[in-house]
Chains A and B, each alone.
Chain A
Amino acid sequence: MQSLPMSRTTGVRVVLPFYAAGALFFLLMSVLLFTAAGQLQGHYFQPHLLAALHAGTLGWGTMIIFGASYQLLPVLCETDLFNSPLAIVSFFFLFTGVVLLVGSFWFFATGFWMIGGASLLLIACILFLINVAMTGGWHFRERIAKWFMVAAAAWLLFTALLGCCMAVNLWHPFFSHSHLEWMKIHAHAGVAGWFLQMILGVSSKLLPMFLLSQPGRHKLMGWIWGLLNGGLLLYVLDGFFVGPGVHQLVYAGIVAAAIAFFIAFIYPVYKNRLRRKLDWPMRQSMTSLLFLLLSLPWLLLTYLINGYQYAIGYMLFLLLGWISGLILGMTFKTLPFIVWNYHYKEVHGKEKLPMPRDLYSDRLLKLQYFSYLPSLLLLSIALLLKIDWLVNAALGIWLLAAICYTLNAGKTICHKLKWPAHGNSNERSLV
């Protein structure tokens, strides 16, 4: 029997900085949102709100996705990561870019700092795209998850490029259309092109793996890829050449069809899973998908009824309910394994060792879950009924979820090797 070489796991020191920085930016985003709670009933183009949203989408969501992608690409593509040093360099560009951008939004320092931050982010996105594109082969059916990742990385690059232009436009206006119209394209390219595409593509491989189920119908994934990118491309072209209007809901419909196809793909996987009982990280991740669906009525409201709170509700449901919710769960399906693998790979099998699930606190995870759900429920009520104090309360509870997450991620990252279990223990830690 011919054996094939196993790909090597991406080094822990490549991946871990993304998780550590992501957790800190998540906490920062939650603090900024709590501080800017009073602005959530107003227009979405406000410096403090923009700072919080970029801390969330870039510092938190994108940071964690970069790190997880560098770890998961070898699994999805069944080969080594193209270039680990490039991944480390992308971290420094991403981290510095987010710090500059969030700071310049908060103090609304247009010009050098904002453009500088946006440019560093652009470089990080280019480096990420190179690493994703160059890892593994290109066969569409066999490597469909990679096609999702490459297209997602390309949309991220487009989003960053548009963001750079917008930063310049705030300093020296040169756009022919309104800045806010460009912002809508920028936001949707980021949410649907980058986050949605990346999450659907990776989930199609990971969910059957985590749930111990048969792989889904991969032909459907090809359709989803086409619908998602087609709908989004039409939306962007329409935005460039035609302009805003209710007709744009057609493109939202095409993207919604892609989501519906994905549900059709994932439902049999979920139904036929061998692991009947979901652990807390999986429960958290599956709940987040509900918020992706719940964000669609908010989108409809933004087109049909006047009121900025609907647009803010739509953004927050996507950022907090869906993207954050998913990462809050998936972190504990990946991070403990990365840390555990680093510490115990060589000694596994010698004697009883802690398992990956022992590296984080289940109690903190439950508290995080039970803060996440009510805070979003309260936030919806507060935005719909325009109750200011309830917005504060909801974001206060959200802050509790963020603290639980950061403590738990910190506990996992700072885990000290404990082996042998008896006698003189050989202690070492990553930090």
Chain B
Amino acid sequence: MEIAMNDPWYEQKLQVLQALYQVIDPELFVNIVDLGLVYDIEIQAPDQIHIRMTLSTPHCPLGEAIESAVHNALQPGFPGWQSYVNIVWEPKWTPDKISPEGRHLLGID
């Protein structure tokens, strides 16, 4: 997940991304960003954050917990803002989407 430096919301998106690093997948013990679950962050003025993301398994029983963790993680840095989580199944998540840091945390390679 990359954020373009010329993005008008660069700073806010970076702050959102930092917050999402705090959301841990309870099964894999790795944050959702390094797992490659977060596909897109969109800021809509004046106070809306839209996260487009997926889950490692469609209809994972822990999906609701991860979704609520995203909202909870964003709250302290963005008081008064509305956060929306859009869970999508396309493109399908595969282990190839795990970042090098995520692979390291999982003990891969």
Contact = CB atoms under 8 A, between A and B. Distances in A.
**Chain A bound to chain B:** yes
Interface of A: 1-4, 6-9, 71, 74-75, 78-79, 209, 212-214, 274-277, 337-338, 340-341, 344-350, 355-356
Interface of B: 22-24, 26-29, 52, 56-73, 75, 86-90, 94-95, 98, 103, 106-108
Given A214-B94, A337-B27, 20 more contacts: A1-B86, A3-B87, A75-B57, A75-B59, A78-B59, A214-B95, A274-B95, A274-B98, A274-B103, A277-B107, A338-B61, A340-B65, A345-B68, A348-B69, A349-B68, A349-B72, A350-B73, A350-B75, A355-B26, A355-B29
Contacts of B103: 274
A71 B61 contact: yes
A4 B59 CA distance: 10
A78 B68 contact: no
23 contacts: A1-B86, A1-B88, A6-B67, A9-B64, A71-B61, A75-B59, A212-B28, A212-B56, A213-B95, A214-B95, A276-B107, A337-B27, A340-B26, A341-B64, A344-B65, A345-B64, A345-B65, A346-B68, A347-B68, A348-B65, A348-B68, A349-B73, A350-B75
Given A345-B64, A348-B66, A348-B68, A3 B26 contact: no
Contacts of B67: 6
A326 B33 CA distance: 33
Residues of B contacting A: mostly: loop
Residues of A contacting B: mostly: loop
A349 B22 contact: yes
B59 to A, nearest CB: 5
Contacts of A8: 64
A228 B72 CA distance: 48
Contact of B106 (A2, A3, A74, A212): A212
Given A214-B95, A277-B107, A3 B86 contact: yes
Given A212-B28, A347-B72, A275 B59 contact: no
Contacts of B63: 6
A64 B59 CA distance: 21
A274 to B, nearest CB: 5
Given A337-B26, A346-B68, A1 B106 contact: no
Contacts of A3: 86-88
Given A75-B60, A341-B65, A356 B73 contact: no
Which residue of A3, A74, A338 has the most chain B CB atoms within 10 A of its CB atom?
A3
B61 A9 contact: yes
Contacts of A213: 95
A214 B97 CA distance: 13
Contacts of A75: 57-61
Contacts of A345: 64-65, 68
A336 to B, nearest CB: 9
Contacts of B107: 275-277
A7 B26 CA distance: 19
Contacts of A344: 65
B28 A7 contact: no
Nearest to A76: B59
Nearest to B65: A345
B72 A348 contact: yes
A349 B98 CA distance: 20
Contacts of B95: 212-214, 274
Contacts of B27: 337, 356
B63 to A, nearest CB: 5
A274 B62 contact: no
A78 B65 contact: no
A6 B58 CA distance: 8
Contacts of B52: 1
A341 B70 CA distance: 15
Contacts of A78: 58-59
Contacts of A340: 26, 65
Contact of A349 (B56, B59, B61, B71): B71
A340 B26 CA distance: 9
Nearest to B61: A9
B108 A274 contact: yes
B74 to A, nearest CB: 9
Given A1-B90, A6-B87, A274-B108, A356 B26 contact: yes
Nearest to A205: B57
Nearest to B53: A3
Which residue of A1, A6, A8, A349 has the most chain B CB atoms within 10 A of its CB atom?
A349
A180 B16 CA distance: 68
A349 B83 CA distance: 14
Contacts of B23: 348-349
